[in-house]
Structure 1
Amino acid sequence: MAASSSSSSKTSCLQCQDSISDTFKHGWRLRSGDWARLCNRCGSVYEDGRFCETFHSNDDGWRDCESCGKLVHCGCVVSYNAYLLLDFGGVICMDCSKRNFITARNRCLLESQGGTGNLPRDFGKRIHVEPSNGPGLNGTELQQISRKTRSVFVPLFEKILTASDADHKLARLVIPKRWAEAFFPVINVPTGVPIQIQDTDGKEWVFKYRYWPSSTSRTYVLEGLRDYMSLVKGQVGDIVKFYSIEPGGKLVIGLEKPSAGPSST
C-alpha cells in the first residue's frame, strides 16, 4: 500500500505511537470507518502480511487454517478480513478459500463432462495422466491419453509449504486434519503406516503416514520426504498439491513454484 500524504498537523502511529508528520501508511479499516494510520516501519510490516505475527504473537486468539495450517489471528481487527468462519467449525484463510473454490469449480466441470472428452481449458496442465513409462509428454498428448484410458488426475487439496514443511532435515509434511481424514487412509495408531504415493512424473514413493496425538485432536504428517523434496527443490512458499487418479483413487503428489507461471503438475 503506497504511502499517503498527511496534513501539516502531526499525528501518531497507531501501533508504535511514534510521531508522524509528513507521510504515513494506511493500515486496516477501523470500526469507526477510518483507516489506521501507521508509520513507514509499522506500515511496511502490515503490507508484508506480518503485522499480527510481529506485534501480537503473544496474544490469545490464534487458530490454524483448516486447509493449509497457517496460523490466523482470529478476532483481531487487523486480520478480520483475512479469514472466513466455516459452517462446521474452524477457519480458513482467504487464499485457501479462493483456491478451494476454483478447485471445486474445476471438479464440477470435469464431472459434468464424464471425466473425458474436451477438458476445460483452465485445467491445462493441472489435471492429466502420466503414463508409467513415458514422462515428458506435453499437455495435448496427456489429454489424448486421458481420453484413451478414461483416467484423469482429480485435484484433492493443496497447501503452501511452511518453514517446517520445507525443512529438508525434518523431511516431513503436516497434512491439515480436514484433508487427511477425507482423502488419506484411516489410521488408528500414532506410529502410522507406510503409504505409496506417485509423483506427477510417474515415480513411486513410499512415505510414512502417521499422526501426533493430543488430548483433543490429531496432527497428521507424512514423513520420509527428504529425497522427494530434494528432487523437486521444495522451498517455503511453494505449493504442494495432491491428486487422485480416477478411476482407482491412487494418491499423487506434485509441487508448483508460485512464480514459475502455469504448473506442469
Structure 2
Amino acid sequence: MKTHLPPKGIIEQAWDFVDQFICPILFIPDGDDRTPPGDHHGTGWFVEKHGAVQICTCEHVANFQAKGKIGYAPFGGDCGINVGRPFLLKAHPVDFAIADASRTWNRISHNGKSIPLASFDKKHQPVEGEYLYLQGFPGADSQALWGQHNVKGLGAYLHEVDPPPELFSEHPPFKDGYHICMAWNPANATSLTEAATHLSVPGGLSGSVLWNTRYQEVSEQGRNWSVNDMRVTGIVWGASSKAGVVTATPIEHIFQCIV
C-alpha cells in the first residue's frame, strides 16, 4: 500500500472545505453551575433533510442528551447553541445519531453550512492506497478559558488498514466486515503544516466525518483533482491506543438516515 505524504494541493484546500460543515459538541449536565458550564463532548456535522438542517454525530455522544443539554458551535459563530430537538439514536454497531437543528440554527450569526447530498458516497469503496481525511475536535486540545470554551480543530490524513488482532478485545467491539479502521499513531505521525505540531489523542473526535479524498482515484483517471471530488465515506466512532487505530462506520450503514 502507498504511504507517501498527501500532495500539497489537498492539504491547502481540504481544511477550509471541511471546516464549514463541522462543529464541536458540548455537553452541559443538568444542574451544572460552572463558568462556563459543560465540557467538550465530541464532533458533529450538518446535513439538510426535507429542507431542514440536521446535526449528526455518534449515538454514544448524543445519548447524553437524556442527562442534560447537547450544544453545538457552527463555523464562524462566537458561541454555542442548544440542539433543541431530541436525537434519533442508532446504537452500536451503527453508532449514529441525527437531530433537527433548524429551530436553533439561526439564533446566532455564523457561516456554517450543510454538506451537500452530492458529496456523500453511498458505499465505502476507496481505491487501494487512497488518502482518507478526518477533521474534528479532540478533547485534549480543548480548554475553558476566560469564561468560554476554546476548542482547537485537527485535520489528519489516514490510510485504511486491516484490523490488528488487539482491536477485537476492545469495547465496544469492532465488527470485522462491518466497521473499518485507519492507522493512528501519534509517535509516528508527520506534521504537514506549521500549525500542526502534533497528532492529538483521538478522544473527542467521535462523530467526525470520514472523507474519501479520491485523490488517487481521480489521478488514476488522468484528471486534475479538485476539493469537490471529496466524498463522505463514514463516521468515526472509536479508537484503540493498544491497536493504534481509529474506527469508523462506513457510509452505507448510515446513508438512509441522512436522506
TM range, normalised to the smaller chain?
Answer: under 0.3
Greater RCO, CA 8 A, separation 6+? 2
Tell me which structure has the larger Cα radius of gyration.
1
Provide the TM-score with structure 1 as the length reference: 0.25
Provide the TM-score with structure 2 as the length reference: 0.25
